[in-house]
């Protein structure tokens, strides 16, 4: 008899962005392992990005959507009133990041806590109607972990917490008040102790959690890298391989937290002054960016070399990766070792050279070196970035040699670590 799972995921298609990739791909390959899976997610918010194509990929047996009294819900209501035509994408990316952090920090768990009442009641109804052997909660938001814990206390159904990001160990401050952080820490401790299993995205993340919460986690914590989905690389549109004689250096994805282009832009400014960037070089940034980032990318000194392409579907993003001559990757040195995003594995699978501006001797660096990549420096190292760009520009083909990928990093292979 097939086992059944209730999968809790606040971020799920048609919402777009990096937060939806892991749940939809995990469900896809758990289904192929023979599980029945129902998804409980949010249904009435406005978000800064959407990807309808990803929704077509969903292999969940059922998708249940509920209301959520969170900020995006109220923005939806505000936008739908006759007197307003507010675009959530515009508000989100034009609002200074420091202000958004303050707003998020005013909530005791996170700013999605308004979802829990609706999701909890809906989940109990589903549990009465169906037999579930397991609950899986993917976080953030951290509200989803609280929901799994509350359902376990009520129904005794075991649960797994899938950490896409740290919670109270997150390197960026989550709360405006110390009391909120302490409260969250107590709740996270309870959730971890009562969980059936914990999934994390890197080995360092696992070790940090064990150090902070106790060695008992070692036996029930598994690392599942985000990985790449081989199906995403089938039947790619070849038209995107035409770069009209230009050498295209491209970043594909959003920038958040301490990841930024400040030092990269400083490097370009120096190289332009030194006439080190030929006219056939062009830089693309594909994604949605905060106002501060756009201002940097459009500064007069570098503007003619840079094009900003608004966020595209995940499928199109893969096409852009494959047609790049060099891919850019940014991870801040400070507290940047823990997180290994799905993007880096998709970059590796694209078999294009990567300029990895990442922490020195990090887990990411080891993975990239094993795949044949050679261009590394810290994100904040202006001279290192300059040296790497000059080496690539002088002999691009050299950095195409020896590139490969390990099928063990595929989503399908990684999902075998889940259960």
**358 vs 366: CA distance, rounded Å:** 11
Q: DSSP 3-state assignment of 5?
A: strand
| Cβ–Cβ < 8 Å for 343, 318 | no
Question: Domains in the chain, start-ordered, CATH in brackets?
Answer: 4-224 (3.40.50.2000), 230-407 (3.40.50.2000)
What are 164's two structure tokens? 């896409």
pLDDT tens for each residue of 213-259: 999 999 999 999 999 999 999 877 655 555 677 999 999 998 877 88
pTM passes above 0.85? yes
Q: Which residues of 239-277 are buried (b: 16+ CB within 10 A; e: fewer)?
A: eeeeeeeebbbbbbbbbebbbbbebbbbbbeebeeeebb
Length reported for the chain? 419
DSSP assignment of 370-388 equals HTT--EEE-TT-HHHHHHH
What are 241's two structure tokens? 């391989």
**371 vs 369: CA distance, rounded Å:** 5
pLDDT of the residue at 290: 83
pLDDT of the residue at 378: 96
**Cis ω for the linkage preceding 140 (within 30 of 0):** yes
* Cα 249 to Cα 255, 266, 349, distances in angstroms: 17, 16, 17
| Residues 6+ away with beta carbon under 8 Å from 313 | 16, 51, 52, 53, 54
Q: Dihedral of CA 225/226/231/232: which sign?
A: negative
- pLDDT at position 270 over 90: yes
In which band, very low, low, confident or very high, does the pLDDT at 103 lie, cut at 50, 70 and 90?
A: low
**Cis ω for the linkage preceding 14 (within 30 of 0):** yes
Note the Cα 64 to chain centre separation in Å: 23
| Cβ–Cβ < 8 Å for 413, 24 | no
Helices (H) and strands (E) in the chain, counts: 16, 13
The angle formed by the CA atoms of residues 395, 399 and 402, to the nearest 5 degrees, is 140
pLDDT of the residue at 22: 95
Q: What does the longest C-alpha to C-alpha distance in the chain come to?
A: 69
- pLDDT at position 83 over 80: no
- pLDDT at position 345 over 50: yes
Segment holding 133, helix H or strand E: none
Segment holding 219, helix H or strand E: none
- 307 or 46, which is more confident: 307
**376 vs 356: CA distance, rounded Å:** 5
pLDDT tens for each residue of 17-32: 778 999 999 999 999 9
| Mean pLDDT value across residues 322-345 | 89
Phi, psi for residue 250 in degrees, rounded to 5: -135, 140
């Amino acid at each position: 008899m097939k086992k059944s799972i209730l999968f809790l995921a606040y971020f799920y298609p048609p919402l777009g962005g990096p937060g939806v990739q892991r749940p939809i791909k995990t469900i896809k390959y758990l289904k192929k392992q023979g599980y029945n899976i129902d998804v409980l997610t949010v249904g009435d918010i406005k978000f800064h990005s959407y990807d309808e194509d990803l929704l077509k990929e969903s292999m969940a047996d059922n998708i249940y959507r509920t209301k959520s009294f969170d900020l995006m819900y109220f923005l939806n209501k505000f936008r739908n009133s006759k007197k307003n035509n507010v675009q959530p994408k515009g508000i989100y990316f034009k609002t200074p990041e420091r202000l958004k952090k303050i707003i998020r920090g005013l909530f005791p768990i996170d700013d999605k806590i308004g979802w829990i009442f609706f999701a909890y009641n809906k989940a109990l109804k589903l549990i009465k109607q169906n037999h579930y052997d397991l609950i899986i909660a993917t976080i953030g938001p951290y509200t989803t972990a609280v929901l799994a814990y509350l359902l376990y206390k009520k129904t005794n159904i075991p649960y797994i917490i899938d950490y896409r990001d740290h919670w109270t160990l997150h390197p960026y401050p989550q709360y405006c008040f110390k009391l909120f952080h302490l409260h969250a820490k107590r709740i996270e401790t309870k959730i971890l102790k009562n969980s059936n299993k914990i999934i994390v995205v890197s080995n360092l993340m696992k070790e940090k959690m064990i150090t902070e919460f106790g060695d008992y986690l070692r036996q029930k914590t598994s690392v599942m890298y985000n990985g790449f989905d081989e199906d995403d690389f089938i039947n790619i549109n070849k038209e995107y391989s035409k770069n009209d004689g230009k050498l295209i250096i491209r970043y594909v994805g959003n920038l958040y937290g301490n990841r930024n282009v400040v030092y990269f832009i400083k490097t370009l400014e120096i190289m332009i002054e030194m006439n080190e960037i030929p006219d056939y070089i062009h830089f693309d940034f594909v994604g949605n960016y905060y106002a501060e980032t756009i201002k940097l990318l459009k500064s007069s000194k570098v503007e003619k070399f840079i094009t900003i392409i608004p966020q595209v579907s995940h499928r199109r993003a893969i096409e852009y990766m494959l047609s790049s001559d060099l891919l850019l990757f940014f991870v801040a040195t400070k507290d940047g070792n823990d997180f290994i995003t799905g993007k880096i594995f998709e970059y590796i699978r694209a078999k294009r050279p990567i300029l990895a501006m990442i922490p020195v001797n990090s887990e990411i660096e080891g993975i990239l070196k094993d795949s044949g990549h050679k261009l590394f420096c810290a994100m904040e190292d202006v001279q290192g970035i300059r040296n790497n760009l000059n080496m690539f520009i002088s002999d691009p083909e050299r950095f195409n040699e020896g590139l490969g990928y390990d099928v063990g990093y595929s989503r399908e292979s990684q999902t075998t670590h889940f259960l």
